[in-house]
């Protein structure tokens, strides 16, 4: 077999997703017993107690296939958000839905517009199907430049991805700018609103994507149970899609793409709105403490509407390694002048600040 000839050439420039270091690796390298994993935007608390009880109850039935259409969960989501069943799609994380949408729409030579830096999956699915990535730099303040993104749309554009709050910067675009942007998007271009972190947003001008979804306009709204609901290990997300596109994704997805444990955990998590509110409040409190500490240490950062903080650094590789030595794992971006720091529990926050203080003193700054 001539593998070079056999494998699709579109895959050649693609780089596999790098999940980051494991806790065991850093424990061995640093010699620290307590390791803070702040690199993947995971919520520091475990799943909701109601979800844990439901998962434990369903485990003896794992000899059976899951409900291939996730009826109970889809029904709960439709009721919560006022959606018709034909518009609701559940996936193996919202990542899977992103890929299914790209697979359904993209042909070689099509264009996909998104801000940069933003979620790494956007260029991955673009390359996967032979389309062309159009990366629009963030505006000052590390925010989406929606006017520039509208300018970047051409007759070859098929999809625009908008990540709000944005990963990795934690910034948002606001309602007025978003509504102005929508007036400039042609009717044959799909706007995908990736709102994986929307539960953490506190800005009064944050535009809730579902307020703009009517099932007719080419708008998709994607969300996940991986973040505030702490189900990252189960991989489950959902989306509101126009009915024809939802139907296409059902044709493309695996027959049992969301496992039984994930479905029942998400279903029971959805009912505990009080815990969502508590976690949102605690996240905001911990970010506020991080901001004041970073100000005191002399660290530049971007105020965030998510559960992480984008920290500027003149020597990110050196700082990343130094933090590992302190038992703290953050997200680096190669030579990009920044690091992404996840928000943890109150104890985690104190340890994070101590680690940055030690690194700043040792290196003469961050």
pLDDT greater than 80 at residue 20: no
For residue 125, the enclosing domain spans 49-270
- Rounded CA separation 141/219 (Å): 26
Write the DSSP string, 167-214: TTT-----HHHHHHHHHHS-TTSEEEEE-TTGGG---TT---GGGG--
* H-only helix segments in the chain: 3-6, 23-30, 49-58, 71-81, 93-105, 121-128, 146-151, 175-184, 243-252, 260-270, 273-297, 316-325, 346-363
Same domain? For 285 and 255 the reply is: no
pLDDT tens column, 224-260? 999 999 999 999 999 999 999 999 999 999 999 999 9
pLDDT band at 26 (very low <50, low <70, confident <90, very high): confident
Residues 334, 323: Cα–Cα separation, whole Å: 15
Asked whether the predicted pLDDT for residue 111 surpasses 90, the reply is: yes
Domain end marker among 270, 298, 325: 270
Question: Are 217 and 138 within one domain?
Answer: yes
What mean pLDDT is predicted for residues 100-104?
98
Does 293 fall in a domain? yes
Of the listed ranges 4-8, 184-188, 226-230, 307-311, the least confidently predicted one is 4-8
Q: How confident is the model at residue 337 (pLDDT cuts 50, 70, 90)?
A: very high
Helix (H) or strand (E) holding 158: strand 157-163
Q: Is the pLDDT of residue 15 over 90?
A: no
Q: Which residues contact 329 (CB under 8 A, 6 or more apart)?
A: 20, 21, 23, 26, 35, 36, 37, 38, 39, 323
Local confidence band at 17 (pLDDT 50, 70, 90 cut-offs): confident
Question: Among 250, 270, 290, where does a domain finish?
Answer: 270
Q: State which of 252, 270, 288 marks the end of a domain.
A: 270
The confidence score (pLDDT) of residue 302 equals 98
Into how many domains does the chain fold? 2
Q: Is 270 exposed, middle or buried (0-12, 13-18, 19+ CB in 10 A)?
A: buried
Q: What is the mean pLDDT of the chain?
A: 96
Q: Identify the pLDDT of residue 29.
A: 81
pLDDT digits 0-9 by tens, 124-164 = 999 999 999 999 999 999 999 999 999 999 999 999 999 99
- 135: which 2 tokens? 């990366």
Alpha-carbon distance of 163 to 305, in angstroms, equals 12
Residues linked to residue 224 through DSSP beta bridges, in sequence order: 237
User: pTM for this structure?
Assistant: 0.96
Shared domain for 38 and 180, answered yes or no, is no
Same domain, 60 and 34: no
Angle between helices 71-81 and 260-270 (to 10 degrees): 30
């Amino acid at each position: 077999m001539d593998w070079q000839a056999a494998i699709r050439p579109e895959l050649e420039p693609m780089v596999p997703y790098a999940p980051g270091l494991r806790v065991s690796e850093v424990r061995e390298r640093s010699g620290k017993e307590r390791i803070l994993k702040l690199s993947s935007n995971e919520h520091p608390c475990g799943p909701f107690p109601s979800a844990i009880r439901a998962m434990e109850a369903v485990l003896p039935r794992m000899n059976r296939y899951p409900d291939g259409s996730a009826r109970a969960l889809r029904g709960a989501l439709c009721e919560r958000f006022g959606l018709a069943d034909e518009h609701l799609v559940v996936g193996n994380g919202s990542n899977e839905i992103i890929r299914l949408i790209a697979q359904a729409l993209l042909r070689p030579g099509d264009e996909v517009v998104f801000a940069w830096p933003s979620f790494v999956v956007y260029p991955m699915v673009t390359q996967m199907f032979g389309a062309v990535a159009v990366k629009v730099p963030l505006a000052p303040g590390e925010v989406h430049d929606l006017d520039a993104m509208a300018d970047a749309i051409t007759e070859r554009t098929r999809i625009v991805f908008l990540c709000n709050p944005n990963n990795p910067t934690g910034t948002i675009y606001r309602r007025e700018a978003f509504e102005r942007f929508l007036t400039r998007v042609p009717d044959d271009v799909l706007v995908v609103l990736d709102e994986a972190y929307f539960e953490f947003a506190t800005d009064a001008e944050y535009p809730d994507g579902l307020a703009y979804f009517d099932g007719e306009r080419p708008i998709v709204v994607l969300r996940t149970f991986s973040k505030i609901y702490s189900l990252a290990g189960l991989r489950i997300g959902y989306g509101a899609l126009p009915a024809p596109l939802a139907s296409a994704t059902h044709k493309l997805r695996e027959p049992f793409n969301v496992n039984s444990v994930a479905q029942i955990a998400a279903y029971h998590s959805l009912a505990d709105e009080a815990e969502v509110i508590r976690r949102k409040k605690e996240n905001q409190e911990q970010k506020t403490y991080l901001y004041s500490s970073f100000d005191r240490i002399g660290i530049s950062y971007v105020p965030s509407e998510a559960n992480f903080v984008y920290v500027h650094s003149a020597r990110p590789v050196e700082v990343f390694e130094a933090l590992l030595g302190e038992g703290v794992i953050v997200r680096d971006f190669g030579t990009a002048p920044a690091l992404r720091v996840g928000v943890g529990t109150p104890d985690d926050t104190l340890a994070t600040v101590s680690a940055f203080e030690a690194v700043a003193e040792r290196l003469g700054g961050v």
